[in-house]
Amino acid sequence: MTEKRVLLSPLDPVHDIGLKMIKNALDEAGHTTFLLPPDVTPGEIVEEALDRKAEVILLSRTLGYGVAELLGRFVDLVEGAGIRHKVRLGIGGMAIKPEIAAELGFDQGFGPKTPVEEAVAFVEGRNYVPPKGGKKKEKRNLVGDRTYAYHHQGIRTLLEKISEKTLEWFDGVESPGIRRAELREAGLAGEKDYLTISDASIKDYFSQGILPSGLRLISPEERKGLQDMISAGRVENPRILQRNPRHPLVFIQYGTGCPFMDIAHIKGTEAWGADGVVHFDPSWGAKTEGLLAGLLSHEENGSVLTEENLELIKKALEPSTLWQVRAHRGLNTPETVLLAGEAGADLTKINPVYGSLGGGTDPERLLADAIKAMQYAARYAMPFDMPTNEELCGVPAYKAFAGMLIVTHLGLEMGAKPVLQPLFCYSPEMMLGGQMEDNYIDYNAAKVMALRRIIDAPIWAGAPIGFLTHTEERVQSAVSTSFHAGMAASLDIEGISIASADEAYSGGPITLPARIDTLQGTGEAFRFLGSSRMQPTSRAEEWAEELMTNIHGVLKEVAENGSFLDSLYQGILGSQKEGAYPGRNGRRTVQEIK
């Protein structure tokens, strides 16, 4: 490299920081630089360039009407002075892009966020090649180095006792859900035996090709369009929102029913920094015995669970994206986890407590199916999270957590990796009890502190964070998500699910720009905090202790009852008075194995 003489001139008094940074880099690289003060005329710059025999002139200036002419005259002056062919001209500024640089007559334009190295390369007459490798996004493991060691031995003993009894019960029962999963494993999905234990709508499809209303098969042309969309929509450099490894992974949910729309949302959010995507299926899917097949479009919310639909989504994902297929609440739980595992999903969702107390499925049926599903999750090495959305029905957090911990222990017994999912929400319990009157931090922090003191397990706050704090106003929603994300980062938790800024009140499909709002907000929260933390007040500590005491109390009650299942019906893990109603779908379908 030959040393260059470079004149730098900030035509704009307040926008010279970029030039100063470039000057430092050029000095370091051994070039001779002359930084002019702001507020000089084009004539003065050219005089300086002549006197100092400059080989490169770099200007910075924000554009506006009239400014373009000023810069145009400067370029003309350089030419008129007879040095245009000896001097290379660069212009930087907020509105600058290559098209504007061409119009102004410069040799190169540097827009906002141009790396200093690019300007140095221009000075040195080299092509700038952005660095590769250093910042490439890689798929992260949600479980991390959590050991699942219990810190609370009293709770551990109770969970062992409850689990033992529950698994004893499980060994003696079977259900249509379990049976169908086994038939699917044997390659018999959709065959006679499978259809005998499926609902009429599933039978009609497989035997007569009649689809339930609102569903249709994707045409061959559409299939081609989807392939084209996937190949054209690759995200070169997915954004990394986290500033350090402590910051949580960020998940979004998709499930518009339309594969085109799902892929558009997945690709858009991947580009803007989502680390993971969660597949949402239609709500009727949870109430239907059996799964459909084929590449299907659904005209309402929820993307139908079929092998072909999942295969398509898998193809659309970037290698760095974590993919969760949820299975937590319906009559096809074991089959769904099996499908997800076969399709290459990274994560699944299983929680028989929420699924039966808030999700509408009979507790007995869902508990049997969920344990089977955990075996599949273990086989496919898919960690599963346990949403505690029964809190949103009105169940107090400590009861929801007691249930979640029982499921955690069952999962561990099955060899799976459970992920705790406390809600970061303004729940009915909080509204009635006033714990969030002052702030949203203390109680959410208390939840995480309590769980951490019980077990060293990964935590994924959900779902989405800030539930019931969002309004119809997009800025408010994005800011609320952003603060909750900051809180999650402060609490060292492993993952968060975020809503779009129009999710709570969209009144229809949510939009990609509104998803970008919250991804940007989350990124800003991580940028803002870095390795610092939000500080809860001393109330968090008090509430964490209270939560632990109450969780212990509930588990004791379940252990004394002697049956986890019976406890679900009895309301020990959430009563009807609190808003938890044992579901009825699939009631009396569990049979003892003869």
| Cβ atoms 263, 303 nearer than 8 A | no
Q: How far is the CB of 63 from another protein (least distance, A)?
A: 6
Closer residue to another protein (CB): 62 or 231:
62
Residue of 38, 105, 225, 233 interacting with another protein (CB under 8 A): 105
Q: How far is the CB of 230 from another protein (least distance, A)?
A: 24
- Contact status: 100 vs another protein (CB under 8 A): yes
- Contact status: 113 vs another protein (CB under 8 A): no
DSSP conformational letter for 283? G
Q: How far is the CB of 32 from another protein (least distance, A)?
A: 21
Residue of 7, 106, 328, 487 interacting with another protein (CB under 8 A): 106
| Cα gap 573→398, rounded to integer Å | 9
Q: How far is the CB of 6 from another protein (least distance, A)?
A: 18
Q: How far is the CB of 11 from another protein (least distance, A)?
A: 14
SS3 560: helix
- Contact status: 52 vs another protein (CB under 8 A): no
Q: How far is the CB of 35 from another protein (least distance, A)?
A: 20
Q: How far is the CB of 5 from another protein (least distance, A)?
A: 17
Closer residue to another protein (CB): 28 or 44:
44
Choose the binding region for another protein from 100-108, 144-152, 241-249, 306-314 (rule: CB under 8 A): 100-108
Choose the binding region for another protein from 44-52, 195-203, 496-504, 523-531 (rule: CB under 8 A): 44-52
| Cβ atoms 26, 57 nearer than 8 A | no
- Contact status: 64 vs another protein (CB under 8 A): yes
Angle between helices 333-343 and 176-185 (to 10 degrees): 30
Chain positions 72 to 91 lying near another protein, rule: CB under 8 A, are 72-73, 75-77, 79-82, 84-85
| Cα gap 571→589, rounded to integer Å | 21
- Contact status: 39 vs another protein (CB under 8 A): no
Residue that has been written with the tokens 């966020």 in this structure: 113
- Contact status: 47 vs another protein (CB under 8 A): yes
Looking at the DSSP bridge assignments, the partners of residue 5 are 32
Q: Tell me the DSSP string of 387-455.
A: E-THHHHT--HHHHHHHHHHHHHHHHHTT--EEEE-EEE--HHHHHH-TTSS-SHHHHHHHHHHHHHHB
Q: How far is CA 263 from CA 136, 214, 228, 374, 534, in A?
A: 22, 20, 11, 28, 35
Residue of 8, 59, 104, 449 interacting with another protein (CB under 8 A): 104
- Contact status: 133 vs another protein (CB under 8 A): no
- Contact status: 204 vs another protein (CB under 8 A): no
- Nearest Cα to Cα of residue 332 among 456, 237, 201, 210: 201
- Contact status: 41 vs another protein (CB under 8 A): yes
- Nearest Cα to Cα of residue 124 among 6, 249, 265: 6
How big is the site for another protein, counted in residues (CB under 8 A)? Answer: 37
- Contact status: 63 vs another protein (CB under 8 A): yes
The DSSP H or E segment spanning 56 is strand 56-60
Q: How far is CA 528 from CA 152, 251, 480, 518, 520, in A?
A: 34, 20, 15, 15, 12
Residue of 98, 433, 553, 562 interacting with another protein (CB under 8 A): 98
Closer residue to another protein (CB): 4 or 328:
4
- Contact status: 65 vs another protein (CB under 8 A): yes
Closer residue to another protein (CB): 81 or 261:
81
Choose the binding region for another protein from 66-74, 143-151, 279-287, 582-590 (rule: CB under 8 A): 66-74
| Cβ atoms 15, 62 nearer than 8 A | yes
Q: How far is the CB of 459 from another protein (least distance, A)?
A: 45
Sort 489 into a burial class: Cβ within 10 Å, 0-12 / 13-18 / 19+.
Answer: buried
Chain positions 314 to 353 lying near another protein, rule: CB under 8 A, are none
Token representation of residue 21: 């940074």
| Cα gap 526→361, rounded to integer Å | 38
Q: How far is the CB of 82 from another protein (least distance, A)?
A: 5
- Contact status: 57 vs another protein (CB under 8 A): no
| Cα gap 24→28, rounded to integer Å | 6
Contacting positions for another protein (CB under 8 A): 41-44, 46-47, 50, 63-65, 68-69, 72-73, 75-77, 79-82, 84-85, 95, 97-109
